[in-house]
Each structure stands twice: as structure tokens, then as C-alpha cells.
Structure 1
């Protein structure tokens, strides 16, 4: 049973801006065939949209583990999570970032949650995860960690 679940969908502006591939494809293929240009434009745009949808990772918290994308960590090996928004989130993703940290960040999702890793054999000192609901994710993570 999931205590928390979030899919990091691409922002709407990304779907709109990638639609520029449509006129570009038509422009390139129009001298050859307008029909080919339209078909290629539609196929390319649908391919981009498909990649954006399929490439959207999921964050899940259960009673025993945190899963972010394809990685999972038992909650017993996590410390107290912290939420960062605005300028603080920018600093965590930039100047304060430890190169050894495990990252699941998306440019279109600004807030992040920092989850310390307590496992001495894990080379990552913490996980940094983008989320649209940082306070809720922190609350669920910390409550689940303390109850397990």
C-alpha cells in the first residue's frame, strides 16, 4: 500500500514548446512532399510526447521503503527528510550539491526533498528528489520512518 505516490509529469509548457517540431518538420519535408512533411511532423511530435510521458518517474513511499524512479531504499536506512523550495531548492540543486548524492531531479519541478542515507556501505550521502508536494512528502517519509 502506498502512503505517498507522485508522478513527475512534464510541465504543460514543455508539451507546447516541443510542438515546434511540427512546423519545422513540415518546412524540411515540404520540398519533397507536403504529405510526407505532415506525416513526419505528426510521428515526431507523438514520439516526443510518448517519451515525455514514459520518461516521467514516480515517487512512492510505502511503510518500508522509498522508491524514486528505478531506485529504492528501505526507510530504516534513511534519516530525517527536509523540504526545500524557491532559492533554497536552487542552492540544493546547485552550489550545495554533493557530487556523490543520488539525484532524481527534473528542471520543470523546482521544489526538492533531501533524504539523508544512513547506510554506511552506500556511497551516496543523501537522495535529492524533485517533488511538487515537498511538505507532504517530508511528512509522510518522516512518519513512515519513525513508525517502522
Structure 2
């Protein structure tokens, strides 16, 4: 899904929704690999058991790929939602869009063991959300996104609107 914007009549409200799904070629490669494995097992088993690998491996591969791509990132009603984690945007000091090199830096040398990170290796971009909450020991969030500039802008617009 792509980012979207809408405005409420009483206040400017920025919406952003994205699903961190796996690329189409992961589906192609995963199902091809499961199919080849099923064919190998099919050739070694006689009778009704020969179809069992197809019945089990192909749906299991599809379920695993769907599970890997289940994470949703959203800015909605003054909160940043990453899967089931929520962050009120009033605690956001800054949102920094990161390209692949910036993400590598933040996750490597610039990492902090207390940071909240949701990363998907097949997504190059990310947003670093710097927090300003004295009661929370988490210094920042790093969230994968295909649209880092749009997500950072939506977070900052939601913070400024609140």
C-alpha cells in the first residue's frame, strides 16, 4: 500500500499506511523451491503419499511468506503504529528518513541496545524516530519503510497538528 493523505474538517490530520510485504520474486523463488522439493519427494513415494508433499509444502511456504510480510506501519490518530507497537507522536523529537547506507549506519556503529527496531532486510529505506520522553529509556525507533521521506513527513505533520 502507498502513503495516503486526508484532512479532517476540524484539524489537519495526516494519514500514512504501508504494509512491509515481501517482494514478488520472494514468492516466485519460495514457491519454486517448495515445488522442486515436493517433486523430489513425490518421485520417492508411491500411491497417495506421493501427493502429500505438494499438499503440505506449497501452502506452508505461502503461509510463511505471508507471515513475513504481515507488518504494517501507520500514522493514524496522533500515533505511529508499527505492527502492534504504538508511539504517540507528541513524544517524537525528530523523524529522519534514511537510505540504505544511513540505515546500515544506524543499525551498525550508531546502534543503541535500548532502541526499538523493526527491520525487514528486503526493504532498503527506513526512518529513525528520535524520542523526547523522559519516562522512556528508548532513545529512538528505527522502522523499515519503502517511502522514508513520506513516512517522516507524516510523523512530523501529525506531531505538529497535535
Query: What is the alpha-carbon distance in structure 1 between the residues aligned to residue 50 and residue 97 of structure 2?
Result: 47
Task: For residue 63 of structure 1, report the CA deviation from its aligned partner.
Answer: 3.4
1:33 aligns with 2:43: no
TM-score, L = length of structure 2: 0.82
Q: Kindly tell me: are residues 37 and 69 of structure 1, through their superposed partners in 2, closer, same or farther at Cα, counting changes over 3 Å?
A: farther
Q: CA RMSD in A?
A: 2.0
Deviation at 1:98, TM superposition (A): 1.3
Q: In the TM superposition, what are the counterparts of 1:56-135 in structure 2 within 5 Å?
A: 56-135=70-149
* Number of the residue aligned with 1:8: 20
Structure 2: tracts of 5 or more residues without a match: 1-12
- TM-superposed CA distance for 1:54, in Å, is 3.6
1:144 aligns with 2:150: no
Residue 28 and residue 65 in structure 1: after superposition, are their counterparts in 2 closer, same or farther (change >3 A)? same
1:49 aligns with 2:62: yes
TM-fit CA distance, 1:37: 4.1
Q: 1:140 to 1:49 in 2, by over 3 A?
A: same
> How far off its partner does 1:59 sit?
0.5
Aligned to 2:36: 23
Report if the CA contact (8 A) 1:84-1:134 is conserved.
Answer: yes
Show CA shifts across 1:98-122 (max 9, x none): 1211111101011010001222222
TM-score using structure 1 length: 0.89
Give how far 1:3 is off: 0.4
Range with greater deviation from structure 2 (34-43 or 44-53) = 34-43
Number of matched pairs: 148
8 Å CA contact retained: 2:94, 2:131 = no
- CA change 1:26–1:58 in 2 (3 A) is same
Contact 2:41 2:53 in 1 (8 A): no
Give the deviation of 1:34 after TM superposition.
Answer: 6.9
